[in-house]
C-alpha cells in the first residue's frame, strides 16, 4: 500500500494506491484521521485503490467517526471503481461518507450532511455516567440540529439506558446514537449477559421504572444478546431541522 496526500488551495486529497486489506486498512485510517485533524476537510480519491478484503471498506466510516465526524470535520469519497462502489453500497458506507463520481464534485458538495449520522461514547461504571450520557446527546443534538422535543426524548432515554447498565449490569457501557432517514436509534452495550426482566413497579416504588419509561418513549425497543454482553436498543421517528 502506498499513499500520498495532494494539497492545494482549500483542498487536501488523500490518494491511497494498492490493495485495501486487513493489513493496510489501519494505514489508510491513520492518514485520513491525520489529515482531518490538521485541516478538517478532505476528499479520498479511490481511483487507484483495489479491494482485497471486503469488510475493510468500513475503514472510511470508522476513520471519519474517529476524527470527530460531521459537522466538525468533512470527508467525502470520489472515483470508486465498480468493485469498490458496490462494496460501499452493500455495506452502507456511502450513507455515512458521501461518495461522488469526481474529485471536483466531492469538493463542491463537501459541506452536505451525510445520509446517516453516528456518534459513540464509552462510559465507565460511575455514578455520573448518566450525566455524561446526557451531555453526549445534547452535544449531538446541537451539532445535528435535531428538534428540541426529539432531543428531550433522547436525553431521557439515554439516561435510563445508561443507568440501567451501570446499576444492574454493573459494567461500563458503550452508548451510540444513530440518525438516518428512517428515524433515530439509541443503543447501550454493556458487559453483562444478564437480560433485563419485565418489571412493573408499584406506585410507591422510587426505582425500577427505567425500561418502562423507555417503552413509553420509543417506537420500539429490545435486547440483543452477545457472547460477552448485550445491547439494549430503542428507536424513534426522526425529526431533523433543516440543514
157, 217 contact by CB (below 8 A): yes
* pLDDT at res. 200: 57
pLDDT score of 32 more than 50:
yes
pLDDT score of 148 more than 50:
yes
* pLDDT at res. 205: 45
* pLDDT at res. 212: 83
4, 15 contact by CB (below 8 A): yes
Place of cell 494505514: 27
CATH number of 117-236: 3.30.565.10
Taking all residues of the chain, what is their mean pLDDT, rounded to a whole number?
89
For the chain, where are the E strands, in sequence order? Answer: 2-8, 11-20, 41-45, 49-51, 74-78, 99-100, 117-123, 173-180, 183-190, 220-226, 229-236
Q: Domain boundaries in the chain?
A: 2-108, 117-236
48, 16 contact by CB (below 8 A): yes
String of DSSP letters for 151-175: HHHHHHHHHHHHHHIIIII-S-EEE
pLDDT score of 118 more than 50:
yes
* pLDDT at res. 170: 87
**197 or 145, greater pLDDT:** 145
**104 or 206, greater pLDDT:** 104
199, 212 contact by CB (below 8 A): yes
1, 27 contact by CB (below 8 A): yes
Write out the three cell numbers for 187.
Answer: 443503543
- Whole-angstrom distance, CA of residue 99 vs CA of residue 76: 6
* pLDDT at res. 206: 42
> CATH class for domain 2-108?
alpha beta
pLDDT score of 201 more than 60:
no
* pLDDT at res. 11: 87
Nearest residue to 163 (alpha-carbon basis) of 233, 231, 211, 106: 211
Nearest residue to 214 (alpha-carbon basis) of 236, 189, 192, 239: 236
Nearest residue to 133 (alpha-carbon basis) of 158, 161, 154: 158
* pLDDT at res. 17: 94
* Other Cβ atoms closer than 10 A to 192: 14
pLDDT digits 0-9 by tens, 8-30: 777 899 999 999 999 999 999 99
Place of cell 463520481: 101
- Whole-angstrom distance, CA of residue 73 vs CA of residue 190: 29
Amino acid at each position: 500500500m502506498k499513499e500520498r496526500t495532494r494539497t492545494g488551495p482549500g483542498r487536501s486529497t488523500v490518494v491511497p494506491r494498492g490493495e485495501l486489506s486487513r493489513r493496510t486498512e489501519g494505514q489508510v485510517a491513520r492518514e485520513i484521521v491525520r489529515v482531518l485533524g490538521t485541516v478538517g476537510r478532505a476528499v479520498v480519491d479511490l481511483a487507484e485503490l483495489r479491494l482485497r478484503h471486503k469488510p475493510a471498506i468500513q475503514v472510511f466510516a470508522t476513520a471519519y467517526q474517529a476524527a470527530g465526524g460531521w459537522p466538525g470535520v468533512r470527508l467525502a469519497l470520489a472515483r470508486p471503481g465498480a468493485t469498490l462502489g458496490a462494496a460501499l453500497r452493500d455495506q452502507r458506507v456511502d450513507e455515512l461518507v458521501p461518495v461522488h463520481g469526481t474529485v471536483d464534485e466531492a469538493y463542491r458538495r463537501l459541506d452536505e450532511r451525510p445520509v446517516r449520522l453516528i456518534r459513540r461514547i464509552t462510559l465507565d461504571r460511575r455514578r455520573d455516567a448518566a450525566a455524561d450520557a446526557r451531555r453526549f446527546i445534547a452535544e449531538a443534538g446541537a451539532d445535528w440540529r435535531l428538534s428540541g422535543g426529539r432531543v428531550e426524548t433522547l436525553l431521557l432515554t439515554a439516561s435510563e439506558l445508561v443507568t440501567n447498565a451501570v446499576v444492574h449490569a454493573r459494567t461500563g457501557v458503550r452508548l451510540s446514537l444513530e440518525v438516518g432517514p428512517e428515524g433515530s436509534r439509541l443503543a447501550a452495550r454493556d458487559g453483562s449477559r444478564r437480560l433485563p426482566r419485565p418489571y412493573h413497579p408499584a406506585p410507591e416504588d422510587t426505582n425500577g421504572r427505567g425500561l418502562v419509561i423507555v417503552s413509553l418513549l420509543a417506537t420500539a425497543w429490545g435486547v440483543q444478546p452477545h457472547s460477552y454482553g448485550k445491547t439494549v436498543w430503542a428507536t424513534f421517528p426522526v425529526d431533523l431541522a433543516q440543514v
